[in-house]
Amino acid sequence: MKTKNIEIFDHDTNVDVTHKINTMELDNWLNHLEYIKKELINLINICKNELNEKFDDDSVVERFEKKEIENETLYNALKKYSNSRSNIVECEDTECDMVYITEHESYRRSYLYHLDKYRRLKDEFFNKVQGNFTLVKTNK
């Protein structure tokens, strides 16, 4: 994963530092959502191919596919938001800065909510499949 290299300088104001930290955080969110996208593709393929016969219903696959769409929607929203942040340098007053900071907080809540729901879905999946796997012991 590639992340932006942003430096914080001694002469940066508190607001400048906040914007820089938010930019780094946003970059991490986007990288993480890209990883989740790959992981979801793998989980869906596992469900459809390897575990197809072991599951009685398709609800797990459907929920992963729904989460895949939600992940893509959030990714696109964050990407658009990331592009809009280039206008931060044009802020000339605290009110303008606060609009960006407030917007970032809103996206943070959305990201964390998405992450929590995804983790719960994955935990549920692994709990469900744990009983379907049997380990083969080998003698060494």
| pLDDT at site 127 | 86
Burial class (CB in 10 A: 0-12, 13-18, 19+), 18: middle
Phi-psi region of 45 (alpha: psi -120 to 50; beta: other; left: phi over 0): alpha
Report the pLDDT averaged over residues 47-52.
Answer: 79
Q: How many CA atoms lie within 13 A of 101 on its CB side?
A: 15
Over residues 50-66, the pLDDT tens digits come to 776 666 667 888 999 99
pTM score: 0.83
SS (H, E, C) the chain: CCCCCCCCCCCCCHHHHHHHHHHHHHHHHHHHHHHHHHHHHHHHHHHHHHCCCCCCCCHHHHHHHHHHHHHHHHHHHHHHHHHHHHHHHHCCCHHHHHHHHHHHHHHHHHHHHHHHHHHHHHHHHHHHHHCCCCCCCCCC
| pLDDT at site 4 | 62
| pLDDT at site 121 | 95
Alpha-carbon gap, residue 77 to 61, rounded angstroms: 24
Over residues 65-78, the pLDDT tens digits come to 999 999 999 999 99
